[in-house]
Amino acid sequence: MQTRSFNLHTIIEKRVLTQATFILRMERKGIEFVAGQHIQVGPSNGIHTREYSIYSSPEDDYIEILVRQVDDGLVSPALNKLGVGDSVVINDAVGYFTIAEELIKDAKFLFIASGTGISPFHSFVKSYPGIDYKLLHGVRYANETYERDEYEAGRYLACTSQDKEGDFHGRVTDYLSKNPVSPDTLCYLCGNCDMIHDAFDILEAQGLRPENLFTEVYF
């Protein structure tokens, strides 16, 4: 399979966050996107790509993704072998997990993520200064709170299920059960399907309308 050259983007930075998780910063080369959308990324010498939510802001002159290596995956182990100067294939941004412009100024938001599902929320926060949000991040261990200093103090809350070093010991669903959400909140959920299903049910039971719940499933 021959790769089209205009899809090739050079890696300009790699930030290692944990043993299995890293951020790739790549040339943007004119890719247009809205915060919350995703791109397909893969190694330039391969035939496979995978969808990754964009981690950076549309205002940045580069494009970033947050990657967790899946040992038997078709793409993430290959991406983890790459470094600065190597190239990747990127396809155009798509997706509807976005915030309507008219809501940004006045609405109250709750962002709920598990693992690398935090990516679109990082993009939201960078893209919309002054947005009124709280971010719940479900991880196993506190060292998986990826770049938490990027968020305004008091707005990011780590829910750690395997240690007690986070802000809350337990899953995000445990936190939601113990801390009911105001029905006028707009809730965005991104992560594994089990978390999204359970959190959706909890929020509906607390009086939130389905039209105020937005989801993006990570597989």
Per-residue model confidence (pLDDT) at position 4: 39
Whole-angstrom Cα distance, residue 13 to residue 24? Answer: 6
pLDDT in tens, 14-29: 999 999 999 999 999 9
Per-residue model confidence (pLDDT) at position 46: 87
Which domains does the chain show, CATH number per domain?
5-90 (2.40.30.10), 101-217 (3.40.50.80)
Q: What is the mean pLDDT of residues 105-115?
A: 97
**Under 8 Å between Cβ of 216 and 187:** no
pLDDT in tens, 163-177: 999 999 999 999 999
pTM metric for this prediction = 0.94
Q: What is the mean pLDDT of residues 111-136?
A: 97
Per-residue model confidence (pLDDT) at position 219: 59
Confidence band, pLDDT 50/70/90 cuts, at residue 199: very high
Any alpha helices (H) in the chain, and if so which ranges?
76-80, 119-127, 172-178, 193-205
